[in-house]
Chain A
Amino acid sequence: MRDLAPEMIRCISVSGLQISKNGTALLNVPRLNLDGPGPTMILGPNGAGKSLLLRCLHGLIAPDTGRVEQDGVPLNKDHKARQAMVFQKPVLLRRSVAANMDFVLKRRGLQRTVRKARIAELLAEGGLESKARQSARSLSGGEAQRLAILRALALDPDTLFLDEPTSALDPSATQMIERMILRASTRGVRIVMVTHDIGQARRLAADIVMMQGGRVVEHGDARQVLDAPQSDASRRYLAGGLVT
């Protein structure tokens, strides 16, 4: 896996982003810059627009107005080719676990033998080596989520979007995935991740984006947002979050 020079980490910026459906604004983000060196965590209640924002950042949906830029250039095909996304609901191909991995490695144009070795390596890293030949659709919820993450990592992206990637994972699998995410981040991969797990945000985040009602209510250094939230919305969310 190629290391990206730390100063080469991708910067993502958003301006004037708006999406509405049937007259209601689903997303309204005048300005957002993700240019820090570490992982960004997006927090906020259900329906706040976190997944929607992630889709916009990855170029899966075109906003009604506004734009997404990478390193100051409007998001283009080449950018997207180096991005990967793990969806909130893992979408696995109706093939074996190994074939799911092979599918993305093939898209990177890797040789058969290289692919085989890489699949074995990644599955071992994610604790799925014994499931290689099993049909991906028959995996448990947590295993499926793990496979989706491994598959995204197999793309060797420079930007990785993760939508609640550990929501179905047991504590040890969560720890394993968190380590993998941190390792990717240290290699210079831009990490943008949605989570409801405040402990996780504390462990991983360099900066935190707090969302509510389609808006970014707060964006700042992780410690600061978690320990001394500036907005009412953040305070309420964190208070509720800490209780549960």
Chain B
Amino acid sequence: MQGFATEFSSAIALILNGDAELWAIVLLSLKVSIFAVLISALIGMPVGAALAVARFPGRRMLIILMNALMGFPPVVVGLLVYLMLSRSGPLGVLELLYTPTAMIIAQVVLVTPIVAALTRQVVEMLAEEYSEQLRSLGVSRLASVPVLLWDARLALVTALLAGFGRAIAEVGAVIIVGGNINHVTRVMTTTIALETSKGNLALALALGAILIGIAVAVNAMVSTLSLRAEKEGLRHA
């Protein structure tokens, strides 16, 4: 118990004293996950919106596939991205393995289905509600996409935050493709795992506290926005 208290106070000291190593790790985590979410938004939102408004054979299959991808185990995603990026893999020439870029790719693979699925859900609901009015105004199916995305903005930001929450808290995929290399690819979650196993609890605890802070803040924003979206009659699971 004595040891735990010491670790705890040195964890607090690490945070308060602005420990360079600690903050470098936090910064890299944020950078990787924010990048990943932005890229996921660029891919996931148009794909989700297209699935919501377009009608083509195989659409249902794609939606089911997308929903299935949402529940994909992160470790397996890590493994697959590893195989793609490894020296003998199809993208091996890019030499991305064990770089932050590799971690971003893994998180994009994890987050994009979430963003796409949630976008599809809200946009489809809105499209149904707006359909006749927009047609009456002569807005084509294609031209209705930006209108729907804009009007679903609250729910979409919520989806992005949820994606960010998943990305930043994720360990399995990131440790496989990033390799947890000191000063290069160590993010909060992978560092916590490593330092805990090494017995360096102070750093692990400090990072844990910050991670919790971020998670709580993100979730608070998600609930606030969800409540507002709900008031506008727009909700998703």
Q: Does A85 contact B (CB under 8 A)?
A: yes
Does A110 sit at the interface, judged by CB under 8 A? Answer: no
Question: Contact partner of B138 among A81, A87, A93, A135, CB < 8 A?
Answer: A81
Contact of B236 with A by CB under 8 A: no
A60 and B136 form a contact (CB under 8 A): yes
B151 touches A87 (CB 8 A): no
CB of A104 closer than 8 Å to a CB of B: yes
Q: How far is the CB of A70 from chain B (nearest CB, A)?
A: 15
Chain A residues with CB under 8 A of B150? 95
Given contacts A58-B136, A60-B135, A107-B139, contact A91 B130 (CB under 8 A): yes
Asked whether A107 and B136 contact (CB < 8 A) given A91-B129, A93-B151, A94-B234, the answer is: no
Tell me the interface secondary structure of chain B in the complex: helix
**B75 sits at the interface (CB 8 A):** no
A137 at the interface (CB under 8 A from B): yes
Interface residues of B in 120-142 (CB under 8 A from A): 126, 129-130, 132-133, 135-139
Complex alpha-carbon distance, A104 and B234, angstroms: 23
> Chain A's interface: helix, strand, loop or mixed, by majority?
mixed
**CB 8 Å contact bits of A84-115 with B (1 = contact, 0 = none):** 11010001011100000001100100000000
B147 close to A (CB within 8 Å): yes
On chain A, the residues within 8 Å of B154 by CB distance are 94
A67 to B5 alpha-carbon distance, docked (Å): 83
Contact B136 A85 (CB under 8 A): yes
Instruction: Tell me, rounded to whole Å, the shortest Cβ–Cβ distance linking B147 to chain A.
Output: 7
Residues of chain A within 8 A (CB-CB) of B126 are: 94
Q: Report Cα–Cα, A87/B129, bound state, in Å.
A: 12
A80 touches B (CB below 8 Å): yes
| Chain A window 145-180, contacts with chain B (Cβ cutoff 8 Å), 1 for yes, 0 for no | 000000000010000000000000000000000000
Residue-wise interface mask of A (195-207) relative to B, using a CB-CB cutoff of 8 A (1 in contact, 0 not): 0000000000000
Give CA–CA (A150, B231) in the complex, Å. Answer: 24
Asked if B139 and A94 sit within 8 Å, CB to CB, the answer is no
- Alpha-carbon gap, A99 to B147, bound state (A): 12
Chain A residues with Cβ below 8 Å from B3 are: none
- Which residues of chain B come closer than 8 Å to A137, judged between CB atoms? 231-233
Which partner residue on chain B sits nearest A91 by CB separation? B133
Q: With A and B bound together, what is the CA distance between A104 and B137 in angstroms? A: 7
Flag if A95 contacts B151 (CB, 8 Å).
yes
Q: Please name the residue on chain A nearest to B233 by beta carbon.
A: A137
| B residues 139-190 touching A (CB-CB < 8 Å) | 139, 147, 150-152, 154
How far apart sit A91 and B154, CA to CA, in the bound complex (Å)? 18
Q: Given A135-B232, A137-B233, answer yes or no on A93-B130 (Cβ-Cβ < 8 Å).
A: yes
Q: Look across to chain A and name the residue whose beta carbon is closest to the beta carbon of B138.
A: A81
Min CB distance, A227 to chain B, in Å?
A: 35
CB distance from A37 to the nearest CB of B (A): 25
A103 to chain B, nearest CB (A): 8
Contacts of A60 in B (CB 8 A): 132, 135-136
Given the complex, which residues of B lie within 8 Å of A85, measured CB to CB? 136
CA distance in complex: A94, B123 (Å):
13
From the candidates B133, B152, B231, B233, name the one contacting A87 in the complex (CB within 8 A). B133
- Can you name the residue of chain A whose Cβ is closest to the Cβ of B139? A107
Tell me the minimal C-beta distance from B178 to chain A in angstroms. Answer: 40
* Contact status of A107 and B129, CB under 8 A, knowing A93-B151, A94-B232, A135-B232: no
The 5 closest A-B pairs by CB, nearest first: A91-B133, A94-B151, A85-B136, A137-B232, A94-B232
Q: Taking beta carbons and an 8 Å cutoff, which residues of A are in contact with B?
A: 55, 58, 60, 77, 80-81, 83-85, 87, 91, 93-95, 103-104, 107, 135, 137, 155
List 7 additional contacts besides A77-B138, A81-B138, A83-B136; criterion CB under 8 Å: A80-B138, A84-B136, A91-B132, A93-B130, A93-B151, A94-B234, A107-B139
